[in-house]
Amino acid sequence: MNHTTEPEGDDPFDAALPADAAATLSLLQEQQRKVDRASLAPIPWLYAIWGVAWLVGFILLWSSWPDGNPWFQVDGVIAGWVFAVLTVGSIVASAVLGSRVNRGVRGASEFQGIVYGVSWSVCGVAFAFVGVGLIYNGMSDELASVYFPSAYALMVGTLYIAGAALWRSISQLVVGVVLLAVGAVSPFAGQPGNNLVMSLAGGGAFLVAAIVMALQLRKTR
C-alpha cells in the first residue's frame, strides 16, 4: 500500500483548494498581513518619541539639582520648561498616532483607536490636575518632584498595557509592565535620583522597544 504524505510546512486545507481558490486565499492572507503591519506602524514611533523625551528630559531634571549630575549642572527653570515641552509634545504625538491605529477600519476597531488616542490627552491633564491639587494643599517641591515622574510613568504604563490588550501586542505589554515597575520603584531613590532612574530605565526601555518593534515589522514585509 502506498502512503502519501503532505510536504512539510504546507497547510492541508490549502492543498485541498482549487488553484484559483488557493490563490484567492493567499491574496486575502497577504492583504491581512499588510493591514496588520499598517496598524502597528505607528507604535515604534510612539516608543521612540517617549524614549527621547524621557531620556533627555529626566537627565536635564537630574542635572538641575546641586547633588545630581556630577559632570554638569542645568538651570532648574530651563530644565523644567524643556521637560514640560517634551512631555506635552509626547502626549500630543501619542494622541495623534494612537488615533491612527486601525484608521480606515470601520466599526469597533476604529472606535478603539479613537478612544485610545484621546485617552492620552485626557489622562495627561487629569494627572497634572491631581499634582496641582496636591501642591495647593501643601505638597512640597521635593515631593512634587517625586510625584510627577512616577505619576506619568504609571499613566503611560497603564495606557500601554491597555493598548496591548486591544491589539494583542506583546511589546506594548512588556513596555507597560516595565514602566509600572519604574514608576513604583523610582520614588525610593529620592530626588534627584528618581530622575536618573526614570531617564535610564524608562527612556532606555522605550528606545529598546522601538528598535525591536521596528526590526520585527521590517521582517514581516
Residues of the chain with pLDDT below 70 are 1-39, 99-109, 221
Q: Which residue has the cell 518619541?
A: 49
Q: What is the pTM of this model?
A: 0.77
Q: What is the residue extent of each domain of the chain?
A: 1-40, 41-219
134-156 per-position pLDDT tens digit = 999 999 988 999 999 999 999 99
64-100 per-position pLDDT tens digit = 999 999 999 999 999 999 999 998 999 888 888 876 6
C-alpha distances (whole Å) from 219 to each of 126, 144, 207 are: 39, 44, 19
Inter-residue contact 86 to 53 (CB < 8 Å): yes
pLDDT for the residue 4: 46
Q: CB count, 10 Å around CB of 187? A: 16
The CA dihedral of 80, 206, 124, 158, to the nearest 10 degrees, is -140
Please report which residue ranges of 64-203 form alpha helices under DSSP H: 76-100, 108-136, 141-167, 170-185, 193-197
Inter-residue contact 18 to 198 (CB < 8 Å): no
